[in-house]
Each structure stands twice: as C-alpha cells, then as structure tokens.
Amino acid sequence: MGKKVTPSTSPIEEHHRVVDFIDQSTYSWNLERLRQNVPEAEVQAICKIPAGFQTALEASQMTSANHHQRPQTGLLATSRLRSCVTSLFLLLLLLYVLYSSSLILLPPSCPLPSTLQKSTSSSTTLPLPLTNYSKGNQQEQEPIILPQKSLRYDTEAKHIVFCIAASSSLWDKRKEYLKLWWKPKETRGVVWLDKRVRTRRNEKLPEIRVSGSTAKFKYTNRQGDRSALRISRAVSETLRLGMKDVRWFVMGDDDTVFMVENLVRVLSKYDHNQLYYVGSSSESHIQNIFFSYAMAFGGGGFAISYPLAMELEKMQDRCIQRYPGLYGSDDRMQACMAELGVPLTKEPGFHQYDVYGNLLGLLGAHPITPLVSIHHLDVVDPIFPQMKQVQALHHLFESTKDDSASMMQQSICFDRRRQWSITVSWGYVVQIIRGVMSPRELEMPTRTFLNWYKRADFTAYSFNTRPVTRHPCQKPFLFYVKSSQYDKGRKQIIGVYARDQKDPHPYCRWQMNSPDKIDSIVVLKRPDTQRWNKDGEVNIASVLKRLGQVDPMYSYDLAIFDFQGYCIH
C-alpha cells in the first residue's frame, strides 16, 4: 500500500480536473509517442505542459492497470459541471420565454418622436406609425389623412414666354402663321432671327431680335446647318433679357402654330418651381431612333420651367462645345438636359408632324389630350379642302373659339337602325361610314399621310395606324366644319358641317341606307372649357344621343346631332 495523498494537495487531482475536458488516454498516448522521437525539453515546449502538472503525468503513467479509469472525485466534478451548465441553459430559456411573452401580451407604449410627428404633417410619405391596438385606445385614434397635392396651378398666358426660332429668308411667308395665334395683349415672347428684316407698323407680331454670334462653337455635322447652334441658345438668350413674372419658356419654330389656351391648360398641371422639360416625340419611328425618344422635337414645341432655364443658361455654352457632331438644335438641348439629369415629360398634344400629305387621319382621330401645336405647315396639305393653309388655319381657330378645350376631340357613335359608324372630331370634321366598326379601329388614325421618308410603310410610325379602306362601300363621307356660333338662348354651340362635294364615292352594292343624300350636319354642343380640369374623372363626352335608341333628325339634305347624350369618347 502506498502513501495516501489527500485530494486537496494532490497534483493528480488537479490534473484530472484539467483532463476532464480532454481525453486523457489519447493525450497520454500521443505524448508518449512524441517522447520517443523528441527530447524531453522540446516536448514540454511543443505541448506547452505546465511544470506543476509534470509529476502528475508521470504518476498517471505508473498506474498502467488503471490507465483508462478516472478517480471517483473526477466523476463528481464532471457531474457538478454538467448540472451547472444545464441550470444555466434552463435559466436562459426561461428568460427568453418571459421576454417573448411580454412582447406578445403587452402593447408597445412608445410614442413617435416629435421630429417624426412633425414630418408626417407636411409630407405625403409617412413612416409606419406605431399603433396601440388596445380596446381602450381604439376610439381615441384618428385616421391619418394625407395632404392632397394640388394637381393644377394658376398658370396664365402672361406667365409664358415664347422663344420663336425663325429664318430671315422665310420670314415674309411664315410670319403669317405667327399672326394666327399671337395675341399682343396676352402673349409674350421674342422671335430670334439670323439677321435683321424689314418690319411694318401695327403688325401683330412679337418682339424681333437677332441671335448672338456662335462663331466660337464647333459644328462638324456635314448633313446639318450651323443655324442649329444659335437656335439651341434661344431659351438662354431670352432668359438674359430679364423678363418678370415668368414661369415657363416655350420653344417653337416659325412654322409652328400654338393653341395658347390649351398650352396653358397643359402647363397648369405642373409645378413651375420644379425642373420640367415638357414636350413630345416625333410621329416617325426612324426619326426617334436617329435622334432620341427622350428628346422633345423643337418644331412641335417644348416647354422649360423657369428654374430649369436658369440652370441651363449657366452651363449651355460649355455643353454645346461637347457635342459638335449633333445635327440640330433640339438634340443639343436634350443633351444638356441629360447632363442636368432632367428627363422628358411627354405631352402628346405637342405635334411635330413629321409626315407628308393629308392630316385628316391624324386630326380626325386625335388622342384624348388638348391640341397644343401643329408643325410643318409648309409640308402637309391644307387641313381643309379647297383652302390655302393660312386660310384653313384661320377657319379652324374661328370654328373653335367658343370651346378651344374640345378642339379636335374625337367622339364615336353608332346608328343601329341604319348600321352606320359615326365619328366626330369637334370643330373639324364629321365622318359617316357604312357598316359597324369597332371603337378600337375607329380611334386609330387612318393612313391618309406618308411618313417622313415618303414611304407607305406602316411600321415606320411610332403609334398604331390603320389603312385607308379599299372597299367602295366603307369609304367615309366627310363633312367639314362650315360655321360655328354660340346660341345664348340654348346655351349651346351650333356647328354646321358641310359635305365635301369634290370627294367622289364609287358605286356601292350594299343594300343599306347611304349618307349620300345628306349635305349638311348640325352639331349641338354645350361649351366645356373645364373639361381638362376635372382631375380623376373620365371625360365621357356629351356628344351624340344614342343613335340606336334616339335617331338624329333627318331631312332630305340635313341631319341634326345633339351633343348631349352618351357616346364613346
């Protein structure tokens, strides 16, 4: 029997407390193999064995019979440690359960910070509110009402300044277009020419100025003209004149006709204090590809808000120098807009009209938007037959002066008994077609025109079109507006539309009523100058009475349509 060592002083007990966390047999076996090949000093250095444990390791090796047995005191220590770990785990689990139950059973009582409460009263974007769902507080809650943003602004014609790009060589002819829509006491603007021209007194024209020199700017496009440089700077040069109370600058060409009232209606939708670049693309898909779908074509006109014009004026000269290879003025303008980070806001009422031929198909199926401008008046046919272009445009303005908001707005109706399809482009033309056509077809413009490259290719347009019918029985009967007058007693506009007698109609074999006996159509309509101010409402046109139920009144040569019933618009 060896000498008994007390647990409190035995290093073996200390050793067993350490090896409880490792496998002693594996540790000792690996240590023995290491001793056979490595000196003792290096073994201690490699294994980093504490000096106090060395004697304990030697004593454990001497008891080879009980090499894999641990003393009873080691087992007791292990069980105590495991019980402590288990207790700790149970305690943490209990705390987690209590915390989770408090989140589920108790409502949050944290109010919104005062800074957030202030921000919710002035912003339409609200953070997610912390809501108390207890029954006692449900009655005290008030619904969150978002402030309604004003959809219209009090913009008037006096707030708009026109920047008209003109050529001295074409001025004598094109100034007549300008006289059609210019109102000296209402409109403001400047005509920018390449050189001085002769003017007459009492001509109702805007101020005429000569553009500044562009000799310092490079221009390398062989297909274009250097005049694009001076035209692109028209807005900046107009801004430098220092006009007061300006909200919008509107760019246009000398062969562009603006409907000023409708322009005001369109711009009233936008906040003039923000950066806006408003216009439209070309009707030609190829033109949009060649230039950009993100570009407003200058012939159709575009509008720039005053703050954007200020930013443009600061950098435009440097911007122009970076794009010497561009073709025209409007693509240079769009390049500068891209550098300023301002995208194009599209308004389809600005019409570039990159087409040739008859505009009947386009104007007879105008989109549901105010007609703002018409361009390329020297290229397209007169909009009314047997008239020159200036005379035809003057006739259009006279016919729509009592309700310019409804100009060219298309309405589609059907006469069920006679099996007719009828479209009305108010202030312009009424078309009667034998047979029933779907509204989907009738709202598409007929291809009475050619694209900008004079090809009869319907894929070259940036919008849907339909072909001119070849069937002799479905050729439309055209009734152009002849006169228009407001009747104070009836509170209606009485419009008379006369048939185009020089438009031939081939023989039709269909056994059905023909409109060829009608020479004139009278259209009755109540003025609706606020039609574009009805935000959120669908403008169901008060157009024709339902022809399937209440027929229009026919005489031998006259049909009367009353714009008061229901129809597709």
- In this predicted model, what pLDDT tens digit does every residue of 419-462 receive, in sequence order? 999 999 999 999 999 999 999 999 999 999 988 887 767 788 88
pLDDT value at 266 more than 70: yes
pLDDT value at 482 more than 70: yes
- What would the mean pLDDT of 509-529 be, rounded to a whole number? 89
Residue 449's SS3 state is strand
- What would the mean pLDDT of 543-547 be, rounded to a whole number? 36
* H or E element that contains 253: strand 248-253
* H or E element that contains 563: strand 558-563
- What would the mean pLDDT of 465-488 be, rounded to a whole number? 93
pLDDT band for position 105 (50/70/90)? low
- The pLDDT tens digits for 281-324 are 999 998 999 999 999 999 999 999 999 999 999 999 999 999 99
Q: What is the pLDDT of residue 265?
A: 96
Those residues whose C-beta lies under 8 Å from the C-beta of residue 423, and which sit 6 or more positions away, are 364, 365, 410, 411, 412, 413, 430, 431, 433, 442
Long-range CB contact pairs, 102-109, < 8 A, 24+: 107/132, 107/133, 107/134, 108/132
Rounded to a whole number of angstroms, the CA Rg of the chain reads 43
- What would the mean pLDDT of 263-274 be, rounded to a whole number? 96
Total Cβ atoms within 10 A of residue 402: 18
Distance CA 59, CA 71 (A): 13
Q: Name the token pair of 436.
A: 């029933």
Q: What is the pLDDT of residue 66?
A: 46
CATH class of residue range 157-352: alpha beta
Distance CA 163, CA 166 (A): 10
- The pLDDT tens digits for 113-142 are 333 343 333 333 222 232 333 333 444 444
The helices-and-strands tally (H runs, E runs) of the chain is: 17, 19
Q: What is the pLDDT of residue 77?
A: 62
- The pLDDT tens digits for 321-334 are 999 999 999 999 99
Question: Which of the 8 DSSP states describes residue 533?
Answer: G
Q: What is the pLDDT of residue 543?
A: 37
Report the mean per-residue pLDDT for the chain: 79
How far, in Å, are 425, 482, 499, 508, 549 from residue 557 at the CA level? 21, 15, 10, 20, 22
- The pLDDT tens digits for 37-88 are 545 544 444 444 444 444 444 444 444 444 444 445 555 566 777 788 888 8
Those residues whose C-beta lies under 8 Å from the C-beta of residue 431, and which sit 6 or more positions away, are 364, 422, 423, 424, 425, 476, 477, 478, 479
Q: Mean pLDDT: which of 92-106, 144-158, 458-472 is highest? A: 458-472
Q: Tell me which residue has tokens 């729509």.
A: 400
Say which range, 143-157, 215-229, 443-457, 542-556, has the weakest mean pLDDT: 542-556
- Using CA of residue 326, residue 330, residue 336, residue 341, what is the dihedral sign? negative
* H or E element that contains 157: none
Q: What is the pLDDT of residue 535?
A: 53
Q: What is the pLDDT of residue 104?
A: 61
Those residues whose C-beta lies under 8 Å from the C-beta of residue 443, and which sit 6 or more positions away, are 365, 410, 412
Q: What is the pLDDT of residue 214?
A: 95
- What would the mean pLDDT of 332-344 be, rounded to a whole number? 97
pLDDT value at 363 more than 60: yes
Q: Are 423 and 431 in contact, with CB atoms under 8 Å apart? A: yes
Pairing of the two strands 277-279 and 345-346 = parallel
Q: Can you spell out the DSSP letters for 75-134?
A: HHHHHHHHHHHHHHHHHHHHHHHHHHHHHHHSPP--PPPHHHHHHHTT-SS-PPP-----
% of the chain residues with pLDDT over 70: 71
Q: Name the token pair of 235.
A: 């807005």
pLDDT value at 531 more than 80: yes
Q: What is the pLDDT of residue 74?
A: 54
Of 449, 163, 463, 452, whose CA–CA distance to 291 is shortest? Answer: 452
Q: Are 301 and 252 in contact, with CB atoms under 8 Å apart? A: yes
Q: Which residues pair with 520 in a beta bridge?
A: 498, 558
Distance CA 249, CA 304 (A): 5
Q: What is the pLDDT of residue 106?
A: 54
pLDDT value at 476 more than 60: yes
Q: What is the pLDDT of residue 533?
A: 78
Rounded to a whole number of angstroms, the distance between the first and last alpha carbons of the chain is: 117
Pairing of the two strands 410-415 and 373-374 = unpaired
- The pLDDT tens digits for 108-118 are 444 433 333 43
